[in-house]
Structure 1
Amino acid sequence: MQHHEGLRETYAGEWQGLTNAEIRERFPQQYDAWAQGEPVRRGGDGELSTEVADRSVPLVLAAVDKLPEDGTLVVVSHGGTIRTMLGRLLDLEPAHWERFGGLSNCCWSVLGLGARGWRLLEHNAGTLPQPVIGDDT
Structure 2
Amino acid sequence: MGNETPARRIVLLRHGRTAWNAAHRIQGQIDVELDDVGVDQARSVAPLIAALEPTLVWSSDLARARMTADEVAKEAGLVPSYDARLREFTLGEFEGLTHDELRVRDAGAFDRFRRDEWVGIPGAESPLEVADRISAALHDLADALGPGETGVAVTHGAAARAGLVAFLGWPLATARDLRAIGNCGRVFLEQRPTGDWLLAAYNL
Same fold (TM over 0.5): yes
Q: What SS class does the counterpart of residue 119 from structure 2 fall into?
A: coil
Q: Does the alignment pair 1:32 with 2:72?
A: no
Aligned residues: 124
Call closer, same or farther: CA 1:117–1:59 in 2, change over 3 Å.
same
Q: Does the alignment pair 1:19 with 2:91?
A: no
Call closer, same or farther: CA 1:113–1:49 in 2, change over 3 Å.
same
Is the 1:34–1:40 contact (alpha carbons within 8 Å) kept by the matching residues of 2?
A: no
Q: Does the alignment pair 1:101 with 2:179?
A: yes
Q: What SS class does the counterpart of residue 14 from structure 1 fall into?
A: helix
Counterpart position of 2:120:
41
Call closer, same or farther: CA 1:106–1:10 in 2, change over 3 Å.
same
Counterpart position of 2:200:
121
Counterpart position of 1:131:
none
Q: Which residue identity does 1:8 align to in structure 2?
A: R
Call closer, same or farther: CA 1:94–1:34 in 2, change over 3 Å.
farther
Provide the C-alpha distance between the structure 2 equivalents of 1:47 and 1:16, rounded to a whole number of angstroms.
Answer: 12
Quote the sequence identity (%).
30
Shift of 1:36: 4.6
Question: How high is the TM-score relative to the length of structure 1?
Answer: 0.81
Shift of 1:60: 1.4
Q: Does the alignment pair 1:86 with 2:164?
A: yes
Counterpart position of 1:51:
129
1:74-111 Cα deviation digits (max 9, x unpaired): 00011111111111122221222121111111110001
Is the 1:111–1:122 contact (alpha carbons within 8 Å) kept by the matching residues of 2?
A: yes
Is the 2:99–2:110 contact (alpha carbons within 8 Å) kept by the matching residues of 1?
A: no
Is the 1:87–1:97 contact (alpha carbons within 8 Å) kept by the matching residues of 2?
A: yes
